[in-house]
Amino acid sequence: MTLPTRQLGTLTVSAIGLGCMNLSHAYGTPPPADEGARLLNRALDLGVTLLDTAALYGGGRNEALIADAVGHRRGDYVLASKCVLGLREGKRILDGSPEAIAWSIDQSLQRLRTDHIDLMYLHRADPAVPIEDSVAALVRAKEAGKIGALGLSEMASDTIRRAHAVHPVTAVQTEYSPAVRNPEIAVLETCRALDIGFVAFSPVGRGLLAGGVRDDAYASGDLRLSMPRFTGENLRHNLSIAARFADLASSLGITPAQLSLAWLLARGAIPIPGTTSVAHLEEDVGAAEVTLPAEAIAAVEAILPPGKLRGARYPRAAQAQVTTETFPDEELA
């Protein structure tokens, strides 16, 4: 199968990619490796040509899974990974020093069993290291043939511009969905001005806009347990909004997840939904065939204007590593 394509610099990718994190990290116990492999291969069969992973995900296990599952199909997809964030002895670390970046890239290449990663992101900006120094480390890796394009994740507009001045940035990745509108403050405009592609992670609101969250009885290890908007009274308020969103999707003859993804496609983003379910994967990919009329887009934005959800989107420690702009009245942990 084929999907519509979009450009990330010189890279041609499917309009909807696959975020691979869920297969190894963050949402409770990950599926067995054979199930993860089945999903990855099904994604490629459906025409998905952008696979997004990171050194952080499962402490490298996600990269190894991709190598095991679809390494033999390396020519079928654009491979994106990330450095700077990682796991050390089970604890999340942030290190944007050139030495750490060089080491991380080499480790990723080993786990992915490849000599080239098409797109390498700085997963976060390290406040202890000038962004120019971190980008320069990526440039050296590119000159050595280890990586292709350069990307940034969850960074503010001014940081993007500083990075781009060192070397052209191909992609910026930030959480973006009808429920999380922070890129609209400045990042999207900056990407348009600099001709940088925009990739939206968590495009269905970490399940909230896909019917995947009904209460806060999450499995142990689910990161939503630590996210203020996904627990307690905040969640109950947010679920009432998600119900209105689902009603709108039903009136359009599509699923809530497809409505969220189609809304992002209409705004020029490349969403990378993640899932452990082949059925949900097929549902997500189906959004590429949805064209929303202007009144549906307006209805989405009336239900979920910026700041409509209650609760911070990150816990305090994670928010401290994010420089993407926040709204003046946004709740922060």
Residues with catalytic function: 57
Q: Please report which residue ranges of 157-307 form alpha helices under DSSP H.
A: 157-166, 187-194, 232-252, 256-266, 278-286, 294-303
Instruction: Tell me if 135 sits within 8 A of 165, measured CB to CB.
Output: no
Which tokens is 49 given?
């040509």
Host H or E run for residue 42:
helix 33-45
Host H or E run for residue 13:
strand 11-14
Question: How far apart (Å, rounded) are the C-alpha atoms in residues 81 and 173?
Answer: 11
User: Which of 4, 22, 23 shows the shortest CA–CA distance to 14?
Assistant: 4
Which residues have C-beta within 8 Å of that of residue 234, sequence separation ≥ 6?
228, 309, 310, 311
Question: How far apart (Å, rounded) are the C-alpha atoms in residues 22 and 316?
Answer: 22
Which tokens is 42 given?
């099904």
Q: Is 115 helix (H, G, I), strand (E, B) or coil?
A: coil
User: Which of 202, 206, 170 shows the shortest CA–CA distance to 28?
Assistant: 206
User: Which of 246, 244, 325, 253 shows the shortest CA–CA distance to 293?
Assistant: 253
